[in-house]
Amino acid sequence: MAPVLQLDGLCWSVGGAAIIQDVSLAVGEGELLAVIGPNGAGKTSLFNLVSGLIRATGGRILLDGDDITALPPHRRSGRGIGRTFQSSSLFATMTVAEHVELAARCAGVRRVTASDVAGVLARVRLTGRGPDLAAGLSHGDKRKLELAMLLAPTLQTGGDRARLMLLDEPMAGVASEETGELTDLIRTLHREEGRTVLLVEHHMDVVLGLADRIAVMHHGRLLAAAAPDAVMADATVQQAYLGDAL
């Protein structure tokens, strides 16, 4: 079986400067792969390439074995790639329920009932919060709503379209008392619902508590990709990143 996501010699250059350099990486079905590295290592650029916000200047991106390198973002979304961002991009004057309905309709779901929305909100532990305005949510609950929006396309008749979830620093701005529940929610979506997740996160306790494997980026290159214990014990990784971060 082909990996859910495969990067084959992926490159991205701007004005002659190489930002992402020859990255080859595979993400298996139901795997949670964490991507770590110092600021400027290329982690978000990698996410932008996979989600289609920027176009690769070299290499290929394969989804379920199909080459999607040239597909625009909306076509990748239609193939099941969902993405969150470091900063929440919710609509302050819209309710929680309206966000979920909007995400579902943008994904092509023709009929969205109140029961459908409630079911998605229950999966992200926002039961009863449908009428609340997004502006009034805590940072942790905003992150939950973003996850709900990624799950909204699963209401589409004919299958689950949340194929690959790209979570870019989901703990950014989240209060320490909320990180535990948010981490547990991501773990549930990954392990109990079988979601394939690509996660960028600076909180190493979160990474080590969630990741099946860890990929380390440094100066736009893939430095290592292995089980957490192996990565933590790698002297090159420690010198490049972990030694300064822990």
CB half-sphere exposure, 223, CA atoms < 13 A: 25
Give the pLDDT confidence score for residue 150 in this predicted structure.
Answer: 94
Alpha helices in the chain, H assignment, sequence order: 43-51, 73-78, 96-106, 114-123, 139-151, 176-191, 204-210, 228-233, 235-237, 243-245
Three-state SS at 204: helix
Burial 69-84 (b: 16+ CB within 10 A, else e): bebeeeebbeebbbbb
Give the pLDDT confidence score for residue 154 in this predicted structure.
Answer: 84
Give the pLDDT confidence score for residue 243 in this predicted structure.
Answer: 56
Three-state SS at 31: coil
Torsion sign (Cα): 232, 237, 238, 241: negative
As beta bridge partners, residue 27 has 5
pTM, 2 dp: 0.93
Q: Nearest 5°: CA angle at 189, between 185 and 192?
A: 110
Using alpha carbons, select from 103, 91, 85 the residue that is nearest to residue 48: 85
Using alpha carbons, select from 13, 22, 3 the residue that is nearest to residue 218: 22
- The answer to whether the CB of 20 falls within 8 A of the CB of 220 is yes
As beta bridge partners, residue 83 has 166
Give the pLDDT confidence score for residue 184 in this predicted structure.
Answer: 97
Give the pLDDT confidence score for residue 186 in this predicted structure.
Answer: 98
Give the pLDDT confidence score for residue 9 in this predicted structure.
Answer: 98
Q: Can you list the residues of the chain whose pLDDT is less than 70?
A: 1, 156-161, 241-246
φ/ψ of residue 194, rounded to 5: 75, 25
Separation between Cα atoms, residue 54 and residue 17, nearest integer Å: 15
